[in-house]
Structure 1
């Protein structure tokens, strides 16, 4: 991409070697200038020494900068800064040949004085907007917006945007957005969004990448939040929200919602942040606090539930109990399989598949790892969604069960399973015959859709 940019700069400055860079004191002001090519116009060969209020470049033109308005059939080139509106058929360039004909010492001198080539205004071009340093304003192009400094404003590109430092504002592009040192605002593209620094705001694209995402558990904490929405979301340290098909993070203090969540499980040694994230989704890699449940309820003889997730407030101690609070909190995602082995048993429901999310609260007795009273009992609560099938073969008709449930469990030995009992409230959305639920509360019907509501129960073993 850099080669393309520099090639465009070379084309736009084909006659630039005729010009020279004078001292700052020799810059001049003009109200209006007209040029055909760089060096061929009303400002002559010294056009690079003039700041113009208004410029008209039939094919291309060069100036020190534009104060109000500049229009170029092919290109507009400024050696210094621009504070107005630039419109070009091909490219707008700010900072081209800035140090031409200067010695290394002279270049170093003006750099140390804080000299920079900036845009404060608007750029509109067919292919390229380039600013050597900072942008405060708007860049619109069918191709690329590119700058080496900060961006305060809005970048819209048909192909890609790149901010060399921190971007404060909005980047929108057909292919990609890049904010090297950080992003405070929003990035939206069809392919990927990237920042090597912190994300405070939104990334929306197929692939999103941020080194760090801000959130309430960041150090120091602040009001900013980071959010990634895409097919694949990646972050090294994530204290925001990832929502996508695949979410990847090394350290998670926020929330991952997706089909596949990949993360490093907490607790983290030496971390002062007491929260280790929440995963919501059926497949979680890096899980801690995994459990298996085998139980029966009012619909099925046998229900098997296998969970993955993460401990929310564990510590790097032998007991993993939190320093504060009465419970160790585990966020769990359950894959559920239910089966009735007997024909005609329990309302003609043969088997079921589902997913659920729950929180499990294990009691804390002390911080001692060998304390057998730690996690002696638990409370849990969550939701489940299941597809119910009344025959051995798959039935394509609507048959969805939604369940809100809560349980209490107790175990006699430290490493033994918990025996638990639970209550639930059920809503069954289906086509066709109702289930024969003796404790049914009420039901509703609308055309072919039927809904039954009833209280339920469960009891079994929690491993």
Structure 2
């Protein structure tokens, strides 16, 4: 009988200790020491790392939870409970311990309390003091957010956790984006307050600009080296679009989040975000955002943001934002306008701003287009289009710009806020001569000119030509300019003289503003030097001759039976508008 009683008591105590043993085993899961470092890693990647390295069983639903949120964290020898509280802070995700398994679930964020002024501050202080000093046992309860009156001030992120002995339930709650994180854990039978100050790059420390940037930036991880054959067929696999590589080698083509080093491909490179370093490809490079460094391709380079460095392509370069550096292409270059001043400063906006004074150079076989500011030079075989040009525009046919602080050199120059003048003069050779002068600035302009002589009983002759000029100096009343013009002269009442009959003239023009200082109307006058190169044969004189030579005192008379070169001194006087 005695043995039976002893056996029954032993069995009773053994069965009674099983829940306690299971409870201690479950609780020990959250007390495991963890050492991890994450930098903008997706939440799903963080959970997989904890499960793989520390044997933690974590269950969750991929569809119910947003596991793409970035995590930045660095802890050493901290409990799993502490790490989970920090990782899940502000993500509307809670967790509870079921046996030895951590189960994640979504929670509904509660609105912050309407406490303000000294009352809110006193309530927060009193709550903190109460939570710190009290250690009375509490009844086990399920996971739920703390009341609004016990929340921390809006300048911090409160993470409240209730851990019971039976269920081990944890609840994570965010009060507002802030600069610090408070983790309150409630173990069985006591209430303790734990405050953790996150580092400046922690995801728990979110200011309003960073929240805006997080919406536009997808989380990424950094890899030292990646090798791929085509797209996801490489070392990064399906994670290529979330990986920033330091060294990236693509046999045919590759896709990645970005490059912070060197990237090379046989055909093409595609980067979702930014490139810092060197990127070369046999055919094309496509970058979703910004470039800092060198980008070279056999056919084309496409840049979705701003650039600092050099783009070189066999056909064309395209950048949607200003490029501080150089663009060289066989056909054309394109640069988009500057981004409007943003309300929130982010890394993208800072990169998109063109630093003042940075040179910009565009060279292309056909044309260049820069809708923003150009500091440096544009050179093209056909035409250039620029916004505000601070430097030189050089084209074989046409330059177009909004304004020019420098020179535009081309047969045609159209600058909206440039040099536009109409000039009508009388010279010793032409009773009437008119010119239309166009340029980016008075320092260099081009003009079309025409002249006519056929009034009265004299034989009619007329000429058309083209010239260039510069305004040496301009005061409010007085200006000095030098023009060089060449006109083809048509004589003997013919529609067009086919023989060479070219009148070249150098004019030194002094201008005076008679009405008001700085006025557009100026009276101009000055000496001229003329040189006529002609092959026109005069049948009456039976020699090479032009009617422009009548009554001229020649200082130059050279040539042979086919071509004559003759020179004389003259004058010009007129008005300029």
TM-score normalised by the chain length of structure 1: 0.58
Is residue 2:369 matched to residue 1:208?
yes
Q: 1:160: Cα distance to partner?
A: 3.9
Q: Is the 8 A contact 2:490 2:497 kept in 1?
A: yes
Q: Is the 8 A contact 1:161 1:172 kept in 2?
A: no
Q: 1:64: Cα distance to partner?
A: 4.6
Query: What does the per-residue CA deviation read over 1:270-307, in whole Å, with 9 as the maximum and x for residues that have no partner?
Result: xxxxxxx6x5xxxxxxx3xx34323031x33x132233
Q: Is the 8 A contact 1:140 1:157 kept in 2?
A: yes
* 2:273 equivalent in structure 1: 132
Residue 248 and residue 419 in structure 1: after superposition, are their counterparts in 2 closer, same or farther (change >3 A)? closer
Question: In structure 1, what is the Cα distance between the partners aligned to 2:415 and 2:520?
Answer: 28
Q: Is the 8 A contact 1:405 1:423 kept in 2?
A: yes
* 2:528 equivalent in structure 1: 424
* 2:404 equivalent in structure 1: 252
Q: Is the 8 A contact 2:241 2:256 kept in 1?
A: yes
- 2:490 aligned to 379, 386, 389, which one? 389
Q: 1:461: Cα distance to partner?
A: 2.7
Structure number, greater radius of gyration: 2
Question: In structure 1, what is the Cα distance between the partners aligned to 2:505 and 2:271?
Answer: 57
Count, aligned residues: 332
* Structure 2 gap ranges (5+): 1-43, 54-219, 339-353, 537-543
Deviating more after overlay: 237-246 vs 335-344:
335-344
* 1:458 equivalent in structure 2: 571
Q: 1:378: Cα distance to partner?
A: 4.8
Question: In structure 2, what is the Cα distance between the partners aligned to 1:362 and 1:58?
Answer: 62
1:31-70 aligned at under 5 Å gives the runs 57=229, 61-64=233-236
- 1:305 aligned to 407, 424, 434, which one? 434
Is residue 2:449 matched to residue 1:336?
yes
- 2:287 aligned to 138, 143, 146, which one? 146
Q: 1:390: Cα distance to partner?
A: 2.4
Question: What SS does the aligned partner of 2:483 have?
Answer: strand
* 1:219 equivalent in structure 2: none
Query: What does the per-residue CA deviation read over 1:29-69, in whole Å, with 9 as the maximum and x for residues that have no partner?
Result: xxxxxxxxxxxxxxxxxxx999687957599633259xxxx
Question: In structure 2, what is the Cα distance between the partners aligned to 1:49 and 1:419?
Answer: 71
Residue 383 and residue 80 in structure 1: after superposition, are their counterparts in 2 closer, same or farther (change >3 A)? same
Question: What SS does the aligned partner of 1:196 have?
Answer: coil
- 1:294 aligned to 425, 438, 442, which one? 425
* 1:16 equivalent in structure 2: none
Question: In structure 2, what is the Cα distance between the partners aligned to 1:50 and 1:293?
Answer: 69
* 2:255 equivalent in structure 1: 93
1:67-78 aligned at under 5 Å gives the runs 77=240
* 2:469 equivalent in structure 1: 358
Question: In structure 2, what is the Cα distance between the partners aligned to 1:200 and 1:24?
Answer: 49
Residue 195 and residue 444 in structure 1: after superposition, are their counterparts in 2 closer, same or farther (change >3 A)? farther
Is residue 2:541 matched to residue 1:440?
no
Residue 390 and residue 26 in structure 1: after superposition, are their counterparts in 2 closer, same or farther (change >3 A)? farther
Q: Is the 8 A contact 2:333 2:369 kept in 1?
A: yes
* Structure 1 gap ranges (5+): 1-18, 28-47, 66-74, 96-116, 215-224, 266-276, 280-286, 313-328, 365-373
C-alpha root-mean-square deviation of aligned residues, in Å?
Answer: 4.4
Query: What does the per-residue CA deviation read over 1:361-398, in whole Å, with 9 as the maximum and x for residues that have no partner?
Result: 7875xxxxxxxxx63x5543221111112232212233
Q: Is the 8 A contact 1:62 1:78 kept in 2?
A: no
Q: 1:338: Cα distance to partner?
A: 1.7
Is residue 2:302 matched to residue 1:161?
yes
Please state which structure has a larger fraction of its residues in strand. 1
Question: In structure 2, what is the Cα distance between the partners aligned to 1:210 and 1:389?
Answer: 43
Residue 194 and residue 226 in structure 1: after superposition, are their counterparts in 2 closer, same or farther (change >3 A)? same
* 1:121 equivalent in structure 2: 262
Question: In structure 2, what is the Cα distance between the partners aligned to 1:181 and 1:416?
Answer: 36
Q: 1:81: Cα distance to partner?
A: 3.9
Question: In structure 1, what is the Cα distance between the partners aligned to 2:457 and 2:50?
Answer: 94
Is residue 2:508 matched to residue 1:406?
yes
Question: In structure 1, what is the Cα distance between the partners aligned to 2:49 and 2:384?
Answer: 49
Q: 1:353: Cα distance to partner?
A: 1.0
